[in-house]
Chain A
Amino acid sequence: MRHLIRASVIAACLAVLALPAGASHFGVHSFEDPWPMAGGGPAHESVADGPEPPYRTAWRAGIDAEPIAGPVVGQGIAVIVARGEVIALDPETGDERWRVDRERGPAGHPATVHGGVGLGGLGGPSTPGPGRVWAVDGEGEDTDLVGREAETGEVARRFPLDASSSGGVTIPTLPNVPTPSSIGSVIVGDRDGVLHARGREDGAEIWRAELGGRIDSAPAISEEIVLVTTQEIEERTGRVVALAARTGEETWSFAPEGNVAGFSSVTVVGGVAYVGTGDLSARALDAETGERLWETRTRAPFSPLTMPAIAGDAVVFADVLGHLYLLDRETGEERWLFRVPGFLTRGSPVVVGDHVVIGDDSGQVSAIDLETGHLVWRRDLGEGAAGAIATDGHRLILAPADGPVLALEHDPEGTLLDEPSPTTLFLATALLNYAAAFAAVLAGTLVLFRFLIKPREEG
């Protein structure tokens, strides 16, 4: 009997080890997911291996559609959600892989994930299967969460939601959300303030949390916790909510006092949740308890599509007016502040090596040195918002609102700039400029009105 058990265990282990090869044998390809969802992963660290600035254009792809979400890179494709279409491109060449219709309506970031081959009962499959692209289709009561085959774009799964959704889809990659099926789960919030955890295979409701307000942000997941921000637009209130990943039970929430709106998405790393709140604060909260670790004043509120990016022992926040703040992760102390020319309603910072890269609503992509806080590279992509940035490790991929999708790669022959933020005050220069203007305007006005334009004499 003991031999039988030992043989069974060894057989099971061999079977698990053999699964990837087996999957490949049966025509299921294994792809890496370098940037499978908003923030590069379920915790939203927004850290990429490369490439570093300066950049040059690797490819451009005119997609003849208006991108509203994405891109993400995973399962061998770069995915962009447009108003009425979902488009997949080859991240290396920009060639179109497939293009399919979607029901028109708002959409948050899509997510790519491998399909997984049954390991049973846990959320994150460790064995690749056929890839899927998850995105939201439709509007209002006709909103669906749709899983498409990454190879063809064909609809594989479609689960109804209750309301429009524009925050983004998050796929837990750790086995932290139990699912009745073997495939794992997908988490998405909607504009009725409901956070849904669904099984990816059958759409079964794992849990559903009614948080109130509306969820326009992408949920962040770390180990046993799901964190999301929700806002009541008319009452101008909002809160950060933490839920148990297994049950969807609310464990804590944080709501700043006053009439506030403008929360970012949450980034959770090392047991700390980083979030921008509508009371003009960048905050660090204990992810387990909600305890306030620090808060730093910002100059503007935040867009729910923006999430803090982790830069080693610092964190980059980006507010809606285009200010980037590099803050110490331990204390919240500001190391530098930089302002990009456009607002940041769609763009989010991405840390690439020693730089942070961001696309703003004016269409400019900027790279800022993490050490100095100076601009080292910029490119104007045109009129529309440059939007979010995804990467496959070799290229940065952007889907500007009004232009072609493009990829930027490192330019070994390019040169770096060294421009301080326009928010930097050079007091001596300001006073010298004032003194010169004072003398010129005073002299000009006196000459004009004493010698050239004389007052009318009263009769």
Chain B
Amino acid sequence: MGLGSSGAVFIDQKVIDTLSRVTHVPIQLDMVFLVIVILIFRQISFKLTEATKGAGKDDHSFSVVFRSISSCAFGLASVILVAATLYLGYAD
């Protein structure tokens, strides 16, 4: 559940400068918002993974498949959010 390398992204000077200029919001609010969203994504991913553990290996019902895909999607979304923030910081 830790933020890992995304912490390094959020204290990067160029990312901070770009975000505060683009969003017109204090950088602290930007960071808090992003960190909270990332943690929510990871929590959702973790909870969905836990929920699918009870299902059998051959259980391919819609709910199980949907939960598995959603779990994977939110895990990926948290990583993509970090990557997108870094990209935005250096592309602008």
Q: Is B truly associated with A?
A: no
